[in-house]
Structure 1
Amino acid sequence: MIDLHSHILSALDDGAADVAASIEMARIAVGDGITHMACTPHVVPGKYENSVSTILPAMHTLQAMLDAQSIPLTLYCGADVHVAPDLVERLRDGEVPTLNRTRYFLLEPPHEILPPRLEDFANRLLESGFVPIITHPERLLWASRHFDVVQRLADLGCPLQLTADSLTGGFGAAARQLTERILNEGRASFFASDAHGVSWRKPVMSGARAMVAERFGQEVADQMFHDRPAAILADAEPSAVLPSSRRTAGAPASPGLARRLADRIFRADRIFRNG
Structure 2
Amino acid sequence: MIDFHSHIIHGIDDGAKSLDMSLEMVKISENEGVEYICATPHFITEEFEITREKYLEKLDRLVLASKEENFKIKILEGLEIYMHPNLPKLYSEKKIWGINGSKYLLIELPMGQFPMYTEDVFYELMLLGARPILAHPERNFKIMKNHDLVINLIKQGVLMQINTGSLLGDYGKEVKKTSEEFVKKNMVHILGSDGHNITSRKTRLKIAYEIVKEKNLATYNWILENQTNIINNVSTMEFLELKQKKKGISLFNIFK
TM-score of the superposed pair, with normalisation by structure 2:
0.91
SS in 2 for 1:144: helix
Q: 2: distance between equivalents of 1:151 and 1:60?
A: 38
CA positional deviation for 1:211: 1.7
RMSD, aligned CA:
1.8
Residues 191-210 of structure 1: pairs in structure 2 closer than 5 A: 191-210=191-210
Letter matched to residue 168 of structure 1: L
Note if 1:232 corresponds to 2:230: yes
CA positional deviation for 1:49: 1.3
Contact 2:157–2:254, Cα closer than 8 Å, also in 1: no
Match of 2:244 in 1: none
CA positional deviation for 1:139: 0.5
Unaligned runs of 5+ in 2: 242-249
Contact 2:85–2:117, Cα closer than 8 Å, also in 1: no
Q: Does the C-alpha gap of structure 1 residues 220 and 185 become closer, same or farther in structure 2, counting only changes over 3 Å?
A: closer
The more displaced of 35-44 and 203-212 is 203-212
Q: 2: distance between equivalents of 1:195 and 1:233?
A: 19
Note if 1:124 corresponds to 2:124: yes
Identical pairs, percent: 25
Letter matched to residue 143 of structure 1: I
C-alpha distance after superposition, 1:130-163 (max 9, x if no partner): 1110000001122122322111011110000011
**From 216, 236, 252, the counterpart of 1:247:** 252
Residues 73-152 of structure 1: pairs in structure 2 closer than 5 A: 73-152=73-152
Note if 1:178 corresponds to 2:183: no
Contact 2:97–2:103, Cα closer than 8 Å, also in 1: no
CA positional deviation for 1:62: 0.3
CA positional deviation for 1:223: 3.6
Contact 2:136–2:162, Cα closer than 8 Å, also in 1: yes
SS in 2 for 1:134: strand
CA positional deviation for 1:230: 1.1
Q: 1: distance between equivalents of 2:255 and 2:67?
A: 40
CA positional deviation for 1:222: 4.6
Contact 1:41–1:50, Cα closer than 8 Å, also in 2: no
C-alpha distance after superposition, 1:205-226 (max 9, x if no partner): 1112112222223x643542x4
Contact 2:30–2:71, Cα closer than 8 Å, also in 1: yes
C-alpha distance after superposition, 1:13-72 (max 9, x if no partner): 010011111000001111111121111100012432123122211111100000011011
SS in 2 for 1:182: helix
Unaligned runs of 5+ in 1: 252-275
Match of 1:36 in 2: 36
Q: 2: distance between equivalents of 1:166 and 1:144?
A: 12
Number of residue pairs the alignment of both structures matches:
248
SS in 2 for 1:239: coil
C-alpha distance after superposition, 1:223-272 (max 9, x if no partner): 42x432211011111436x4465323388xxxxxxxxxxxxxxxxxxxxx
Letter matched to residue 221 of structure 1: Y
